[in-house]
Structure 1
Amino acid sequence: MSGPKDYRLSGAENRRVFLEQIVPDLLAGREGQAEPTTVVLLGQPGSGKTRISHVIAEKLNRRGGFIDLDSDLVKPFHPAYAELMELDDQQMALHVGPDAREWTHQARAYAQEHRLNILAHDTAGNARFSADLLNGHRQAGNRVQVMSLGVPRALSDQGVLDRYYEQVQDRGQGRLSVPEKVEASYTGMLQYADIVDAERLADSVSVYRRGESKPRYINMLSDGQWEEPPHFRQALREARNTPWTPQETEDFLRVQDKLRAGMGHEFQDKLNVISEHAQPLLHRETAATWNIRKAAPARPSGMAAAARLRSTTGTRRPDGTARPSQPSPTAASPPDQTKRSGPRR
């Protein structure tokens, strides 16, 4: 009896795809810099990195362009990507992940060799590994800026499901983050913050709440020392635990109701956990008013039960790219840091 199919490419095939497809499509056409900039955008899956990356990209594109080190951008180059999305969209990342990580490493080396600006998306699932990558950028002569999103678990977990929901609505299939990796990222970011502070691995560090344009925390190196006492971990925790405004509460509850109505029964337990995590952060009066409105008689939504989402769908083949998120009108703009307008073609 044969075992599970192995989708990992041979070393030669992996390299061929990188050189013949990824380099011309995603990496070519940037300008080398005397002092390249690496912006590391740090956040757990679902935290809203895509929205902020557009702001960063606009600034880097004015400085000769950049290489976008995001494994999600290279996954569709895997020959089995479409097949896996149709067979099991939730497991696609596990099967394609090893090759996608290798392509990301090759893209990093390509950018450093050609002295290109870099936008690196990091979840810090392995804090020490991510910190070593950060140090590698500095050793290559890049100016390194770390922008971190302090987003509570309830919002990021909801963000993962909402992205999946919208992708399925758009093209019949979607991508879910691996739960174990989400958990590792949420705790790993704090460990990463400790390492960056202790080893002074970045020229600047900033922490933003989702949707805010000004950092809640910023620190810079001057002559090899932090200008202010380093509190990266503390700033992350404070941003995550900041009580929500009435508008933030209403936005969360609106999305939560949409997902409860539109997603299948297999997602309801997860949505319950998200609601529990959100309770300490909700604006109480706003939440109470929202619940009163929900309890009032309302006209039927007209959503048929048959239209509820299932975890695996195969109505259409994916186009190979995720539906782009709309930029937030208040997306973060770093203090002389830099959102992704997308790779130049």
Structure 2
Amino acid sequence: MAVTESYVESFKLSDAESRRIFLEQIVPKYLGHLQSPDNVGHEDRPPLAVFIIGQLGAGKTRAAPTIKQVMQGRRGEPAHLIANKYKEFHSSWEQLLSEKPMHASMVTKADDRAWLAMGVAHAMERRADVLAEMACRFPEDFCELTQTLHDAGYRVEVMILAVPEALSWIGVLTRYNNDHLREREQSDRSWGLPQLPHDETCANLVNAARFVDESSAVDQVVVVRRGNLVAYTNEKVNGSWVKKGSAVDALLFERNCGILPAEQRAAEEDIKELQKDGSTIPKSSIPEIGHLTSFFDITSDERQLRDLALPRISTANVRFGTQVDLSLGLDIP
């Protein structure tokens, strides 16, 4: 049964309660390592904000550790922001899981979004680097946060995950199956599959990519497939993109040109797990991928997939290759 707007609104926290939870619970757990704003000193280079964006199931969690490792080597641990992690702090979360587990995440979404914005503001006040993972179900949040950071003097870099929708849906099913197998051992809650949120993030990621191309907020962008294979990269010099093409065109092309052999093998392994006895996923929900394997276009001379190039960090100094796809705020000497 669908929930009503009034039901959702009845669980929305007051501004004061939301702020209290952020300061007393979320900050100590996720942002307690950031320095006090009183200790912010002179900046040798502008602070950095990196956004990893992709629809639900695209693989943001797998992509983030590599980026975070380089950022930590730059000037310490960044503020790592993931709105989906904050719902557990909602004062009614356990009640929602008990009453309407299929809709709990949707009911707390407004508060999750508010806490993400508070996290960015908290980091900005301390001039801390930011690493944010966003599915872009609400692309206006991505647009507003990147523009706010840019206007505050941050260098903003964006990684866009270009993943065919069938593969990201398999990713969603795999995560839900794993999570709910564990949950089923503890309770008899019934979970619903997030088909609508997945589809909305697929559609709205395109709007976010278009904003990257057209706005003044983003300094550098890279579009990657699974496995950090680069399909497109661009950087602004004197306010203008250096290369032709666009992030949104690259995203749409990669989504619709089929899947790589490595992607196919991984997807087939995931499907085998989803089809096992005891899986919590209805077999009718598992997508077919055979049609995606027959038309992958690798013949274009203008398109050469290659491994992602990032600055290399050692304990002694910073070492660079001749070209990087995300500079992560580091100037090539």
CA distance 1:22–1:127, change in 2 (3 Å) = closer
Aligned position for 1:205: 221
In structure 1, C-alpha distance between the alignment counterparts of 2:133 and 2:195, rounded to whole Å: 18
Q: Provide the TM-score with structure 1 as the length reference.
A: 0.74
From 11, 17, 23, give the equivalent of 1:19.
23
**Secondary structure at 1:207's aligned position in 2?**
strand
Aligned position for 2:293: 282
CA distance 1:140–1:174, change in 2 (3 Å) = farther
Q: Which runs of 5+ in 1 are unaligned?
A: 285-329, 339-345
Aligned position for 1:309: none
In structure 2, C-alpha distance between the alignment counterparts of 1:149 and 1:46, rounded to whole Å: 10
Which residues in structure 2 correspond to 1:30-179 (within 5 Å)?
A: 30-31=34-35, 34=43, 35-62=46-73, 63-172=75-184, 178-179=194-195
Deviation at 1:157, TM superposition (A): 0.7
Per-residue CA deviation, residues 262-291 of structure 1 (Å, 9 max, x unaligned), is: 4668733322xx21xx3331259xxxxxxx
**Secondary structure at 1:215's aligned position in 2?**
strand
Q: How many residues align?
A: 286
Aligned position for 2:318: none
The 8 Å contact of residues 207 and 217 in structure 1, kept in 2 or not, is answered as: yes
**Secondary structure at 1:261's aligned position in 2?**
coil
CA distance 1:175–1:70, change in 2 (3 Å) = farther
From 177, 198, 203, give the equivalent of 1:182.
198
Deviation at 1:23, TM superposition (A): 1.5
Per-residue CA deviation, residues 199-231 of structure 1 (Å, 9 max, x unaligned), is: 24311010010113x421100000111111141
In structure 1, C-alpha distance between the alignment counterparts of 2:262 and 2:230, rounded to whole Å: 20
In structure 2, C-alpha distance between the alignment counterparts of 1:156 and 1:225, rounded to whole Å: 32
Q: Which runs of 5+ in 2 are unaligned?
A: 1-5, 296-305, 311-324, 329-333
Structure 1 window deviating more from structure 2 (228-237 vs 215-224): it is 228-237
Deviation at 1:101, TM superposition (A): 1.4
Per-residue CA deviation, residues 229-254 of structure 1 (Å, 9 max, x unaligned), is: 14111111222234333343232123
Deviation at 1:47, TM superposition (A): 0.4
The 8 Å contact of residues 79 and 123 in structure 2, kept in 1 or not, is answered as: yes
Aligned position for 1:240: 255
Structure 1 letter corresponding to 2:202? Y
CA distance 1:146–1:98, change in 2 (3 Å) = same
In structure 2, C-alpha distance between the alignment counterparts of 1:194 and 1:12, rounded to whole Å: 35
The 8 Å contact of residues 150 and 207 in structure 1, kept in 2 or not, is answered as: yes
In structure 2, C-alpha distance between the alignment counterparts of 1:220 and 1:17, rounded to whole Å: 38
CA distance 1:17–1:333, change in 2 (3 Å) = farther
In structure 1, C-alpha distance between the alignment counterparts of 2:216 and 2:17, rounded to whole Å: 38
- Indicate the structure whose relative CO is greater, using CA pairs within 8 Å and at least 6 residues apart: 1
Does residue 10 of the first structure (1) align with residue 22 of the second (2)?
no
In structure 2, C-alpha distance between the alignment counterparts of 1:193 and 1:151, rounded to whole Å: 13
In structure 1, C-alpha distance between the alignment counterparts of 2:60 and 2:264, rounded to whole Å: 20
**Secondary structure at 2:230's aligned position in 1?**
coil
Structure 1 window deviating more from structure 2 (66-75 vs 202-211): it is 66-75
Structure 2 letter corresponding to 1:26? Y
The 8 Å contact of residues 93 and 178 in structure 1, kept in 2 or not, is answered as: no
Deviation at 1:110, TM superposition (A): 0.9
Which residues in structure 2 correspond to 1:223-302 (within 5 Å)?
A: 223-262=238-277, 267-271=282-286, 274-275=287-288, 278-282=289-293
The 8 Å contact of residues 41 and 120 in structure 1, kept in 2 or not, is answered as: yes
- What is the root-mean-square deviation of aligned Cα atoms in Å? 2.7
The 8 Å contact of residues 177 and 279 in structure 2, kept in 1 or not, is answered as: no
In structure 1, C-alpha distance between the alignment counterparts of 2:250 and 2:262, rounded to whole Å: 23
Structure 1 letter corresponding to 2:18? N
The 8 Å contact of residues 43 and 189 in structure 1, kept in 2 or not, is answered as: yes
CA distance 1:177–1:110, change in 2 (3 Å) = farther
Identity %: 28
Deviation at 1:128, TM superposition (A): 4.2
In structure 2, C-alpha distance between the alignment counterparts of 1:27 and 1:200, rounded to whole Å: 28
**Secondary structure at 1:116's aligned position in 2?**
coil
Deviation at 1:168, TM superposition (A): 2.0
Structure 1 window deviating more from structure 2 (23-32 vs 105-114): it is 23-32
